[in-house]
Structure 1
Amino acid sequence: MASNTPAPEAPFDAFGGGAGPAAPDTEWNPTEGSLRAENRSGGRHRVVKQRSNFARSSTVLGVGVIAAVGAGGLATAQEKPPVAISLPDLPDMPDLGLPDAHDLPGVGALLPQENHETVAEGRANPNPLTVATYATDDERATKAERAEPVADVQAGAGDAGEALRARILQQAEQQQASADAADKAAAEKAAAEKAAAEAAAKADAAEKAAAEAKAKAAAEAKAKAEAEAKAKAEAAAEAERLAKLGASYSMPLSSYSLSATYMQSGSMWSSGYHTGLDFAAPTGTPLKAVHGATVKSAGWSGSYGYRIVLELSDGTEVWYCHLSSMTVSAGQTVGTGETIGRVGATGNVTGAHLHLEVHTAGGDGIDPAQWLRSKGLSL
């Protein structure tokens, strides 16, 4: 069992406060009165508190925690120079109800092995938590011997720090890679959604355009069909009307050939152009009334020779000129197809023919061929 008697040179101060005055045979423990006397005489004294075994064990615990933390890999631990620590003899921990200092994690390896064998004989720690060794001041190890465990601790701390730093960097890189992958996936998803929306919009626009084109084509086809049907109906109605008119109108003669058309130019006509429609036919060919009318005049008319003028109910006048003979007189009413005279060559002519003119109720001349066609007749 190690002795707990204070060292003869000075009382132990675990926190570096220094030692009080020492006496060879007695323990220095000044009182308040003696301190006042010393202070009056100009001297300085320091009261050394008595430290119990529990306080010394707490000191050992603090040293163990510091050593354990330093061995755990703090980056600052490897930058500080090694510090020599002197430890006093420790009491028997089981006597105080506390664990032995040599059994504390990270502390037992720092204490002298002689004291451990003496104090805790037969109670060896089967599972030491550290392999670091420490040379006490009593052993006075050489500088190289004291540097070896410190270097081992620093190397362990450096390795632990580098491992921690590498792990932190690896985690940061993994987090950054995860964030980049998430951003890329989000961007790709947004681009895909945008492309899908644009494609859907284009498809909708194309479908709408196709529907509009189809509707327009259907409307145009319907309008065309309606127009065709309307035109067909109108044509049928016109044909029916012309048929009815044709039944009530008649060509002026049955056999003929057209020798001169309306408004044809030439020197043989005093006005410089032809004012009617000429039907060439042999002299004596019968001439018919084109429609039921009243004979407005019948007789000689200068360059027209013998002429008959028929007045229709709407005021239209039809002139028959160059006749060889007349079978009606003025004021007489005639019906459609009734013979009123015969083809001749009287007046200013070059041959036998019927010169036919048509005048409106206002007296203006119009194309006889067009008028006859409008009445359902074919030339």
Structure 2
Amino acid sequence: MAFTRATGQFTDRLTERITTLTGRLAGGSPLSTRAVRTGAGLAGAAALATTGVVGTLATPAAAASDGTPRTYALGFVQAVAVGDTIADDVRAQAEAQRRAADASRERAGTAENTGAARTAAAEERAAEKAAKERAAKERAAHSRADRTVQRRVASGYTAPYEGARTTTPYKASGSAWSSGSHSGIDFPVPTGTPIRSVGPGTVVTAGWGGAYGNQVVVRHKDGRYTQYAHLSSLGVAPGQSVGAGDRIGLSGSTGNSTGPHLHFEARTGADYGSDIDPIAYLRSKGIGV
């Protein structure tokens, strides 16, 4: 009798365990194949212990990929194969996560590229604005210089550019000059500085002058000539009449030059070799340099 009670108690506990496993399968709990195999083994053992007959664990069959329930013989009974379904779910979840990560990286890259493009565009706009402001300041400075020059030409003559000062003096000696000495005076001005006729007259030369680079020669009403050399550009043509302070070109460093400057000469004739002291000539017209 004691054996019967013990067997009954064992069967009750085993039946409870099987019922729990069956409920988890029916509820879709992700039981492992090992859990199924364990439950099946217990069911078979219970059946064999109580009746001597191998039983079968009745559980809902998991659908295979073709829709057909798939089962496998495990020990004494058949068990539902849920491993494929779980693996498919895991693979699908992993693929979804991978796609989400790729999309996130793509959005980040697009945002980065957009930000870089916006920064480059902003820098370009800032550079354009700065260039326009510099050009406006230069125009304003030239305009002020023009007005100043016009006020100073009441005597009929003016300096070749506003704020004139000299560096290399007249008749400075050295091997840089073919004659052995400097035939004029140099004004240290940056490229693009407006150069003006010192007095009224007529343009006799405007073009390339060999070692002088781009040059302009003006014959004045007093019979003297002035030369303006190493210009970056010309603003007059031969035969053109000019007044004191009229712009005849822009300074530069063309010809035999070591840097931007204006080479200025005063002459008794239009050609090289007829030079006179340019400082003395300008001072005779009331221009101090």
What TM-score does the superposition give when structure 1 sets the normalisation length?
A: 0.35
Q: Which has the higher contact order (CA 8 A, sep 6+)?
A: 2
TM-score (norm 2): 0.45
